[in-house]
Amino acid sequence: MERKVRVLVAKPGLDGHDRGAKVVASALRDAGMEVIYTGLHQTPEMIVEAAVQEDVDVVGLSILSGAHMTLLPRVVQLLREKGVDDVLVVGGGIIPEADAEELASAGIARIFGPGCPTSEIASYIKDWFETSERAGV
Task: Reduce the secondary structure of 23-74 to three states and give it as a string.
Answer: HHHHHHHHCCCEEEECCCCECHHHHHHHHHHHCCCEEEEEECCCCHHHHHHH
Judge whether 69 and 44 are in contact, CB under 8 Å: no
Name every residue whose Cβ is closer than 8 Å to that of residue 87 and which is 6 or more positions away in sequence. Answer: 51, 56, 57, 58, 59, 79, 134
* Helix, coil or strand: residue 128: helix
**DSSP character string of 75-113:** HHHHHHHTT--SSEEEEEES--HHHHHHHHHTT--EEE-
Across the range 50-61, mean pLDDT stands at 98
CATH number of 6-136: 3.40.50.280
CA distance 135 to 137: 6
Q: What is the pLDDT of residues 69-104, one digit of tens each?
A: 999 999 999 999 999 999 999 999 999 999 999 999
**What ranges do the domains of the chain cover?**
6-136
- Quickly state the pLDDT bin for 15 (edges 50, 70, 90): confident
The structure's pTM equals 0.96
Say what the pLDDT of residue 29 is.
Answer: 98
pLDDT of 58 higher than 60: yes
The pLDDT, as a whole number, for residue 92 is 96
